[in-house]
Amino acid sequence: MTSDRPPGHEHRARVDNPPSPPPAAVAEVNPVQLPDWMRSSPTEHQPRGWDRVRFFSARHNGALLLGLGLVLALLMVAGGVVLVGRVADGVSASPSASPTASPTPPVSRVGEPRDLFAGSPAASFAPGEEAVRMPAAKGTGPFTAAEVRTALESVRKALIESRLDISMFMGDPEPFLALLAPDARDQLRPDFSNNSFLRYATRMASPSDWEPGVRADGRITYRATEEKGIRLLEVSTEFVWAYPFDVDLRAPAGAGLVAVRDRVVWQVPHPDDVQAPSKGLWIGSAEAITWNADCAQLRDGWVREQYWLADLHGKRIPAGDPGTIFDLDVPAPTTMRC
């Protein structure tokens, strides 16, 4: 039995956002413009740099050469004394006495050395793509090991594009959508207009504030199943994504992090059961919760830490207790939605 698209796409989990949020702001790419001085017509040449030196030496040729000769002789003598001193020091020093470079702590955008993950549950998470580790591909149900391997690789790429890639961070979902089945792209593209994509993708607010170096922890399983006569390979992913933001040094540990914990069920229909536009990767369902995210920005489709918000007395609002959101071994909290 064939179908234009696999089942499961109609029962998608929703993020608790207020109805009809305002349209998301999309980052604009400004064209490169030549500076005015490069476009202006040539003007009369004014002597500068070596031109000035050449003109001066032509006027004072004899005296200049004599003076330069004396200066060079003095520099050679002084240089020889320094060199002999350094060689003597090197002979008397033991090889083990040479200093070794000490590790440099991470540096924030304002030049302050610190690790934004230190003291937080995400301190032990793997960095970026290293956290997206796929299980071994084995034949299951009607799917061969090669088909399972291809499906898992598609899911891995989709996770990276949706949660870790700079294109998505800046508001461009097309590289992610290109990884999906053609019919699935058409279904999900409206999510990026009504801001319901936060269940499976991340866009960043204030690029000047967020820091590189996302960390994550996750688990991935797969199984063969069937819905409405269509055989499916179902890949379930559950991840905690920790995004660092540049905050004041006085902020408590973890205050510069935004955590997004999601659970996404990806589906790949058997190629014999669907038509060409439906072959490939689909999202069957998705849900996510956040911690320490600015809810106003989140409703507009952008992730930013809430610690930057100030109360009426001008004090920073602390991040609060993350509860179990970082711990995949216990159920996710249900009271952190905006």
* Phi, psi (rounded to 5 degrees) for 215: -120, 155
Q: What is the pLDDT of residue 294?
A: 87
CB atoms within 10 A of CB 142: 14
Starting from the edge strand earliest in sequence, which strands make up the sheet with 257-269, in order? 126-127, 215-227, 230-244, 257-269, 282-291
Return the DSSP state at 240: E
Measured distance CA(160)–CA(166) in Å, rounded? 10
| Predicted pLDDT of residue 163 | 98
- pLDDT number for residue 254: 79
* Token digits of residue 324: 């179990």
Q: Are 326 and 240 a contacting pair, CB within 8 Å?
A: yes
Containing 69, the helix (H) or strand (E) segment is helix 61-92
C-alpha–C-alpha distance, residues 169 and 197, integer Å: 12
Separation CA 249–CA 258 (nearest Å): 17
pLDDT number for residue 246: 81
Please, where are the H alpha helices in 121-194?
145-163, 166-169, 174-177, 182-188, 191-194
Q: Which residues make Cβ contacts (< 8 Å) with residue 215, sequence separation at least 6?
A: 117, 122, 125, 126, 127, 128, 131, 241, 242, 244
What does the pLDDT read at residue 42?
A: 33
Domain boundaries, the chain: 121-308
Indicate the length of the chain as a whole number: 338
pTM value? 0.66
Instruction: Give the list of residues 6+ apart from residue 78 with CB closer than 8 angstroms, or none.
Output: none
Instruction: Indicate the residue type of 100.
Output: T
Picking from 233, 291, 310, the residue whose alpha carbon sits closest to that of residue 266 is 233
Contact 243, 204 (CB under 8 A): yes
Task: Spell out the per-residue pLDDT of the chain, length 338, in tens.
Answer: 444 444 444 333 333 433 333 332 222 222 323 222 223 333 333 334 443 333 334 334 444 444 444 444 454 544 443 333 333 333 333 333 333 333 344 445 545 556 889 889 999 999 999 999 999 999 999 999 999 999 999 999 999 999 999 999 999 999 999 999 999 999 999 999 998 999 999 999 877 677 888 999 999 999 999 999 999 999 999 999 999 988 776 677 778 899 999 999 999 999 999 999 999 999 999 999 999 898 888 988 899 888 655 555 555 565 677 889 999 999 888 755 56
Interhelix angle for 50-59 vs 61-92, to 10°? 120
Cβ atoms 293, 305 nearer than 8 A: yes
At 127 the pLDDT is: 96
CB-based contacts of 101, cutoff 8 Å, min separation 6: none
Q: Which residue is it, tokens 């179902």?
A: 234
- Write down the pLDDT at residue 41: 34
Judged by DSSP in three states, 284 sits in: strand
**What's the pLDDT score for residue 251?**
72
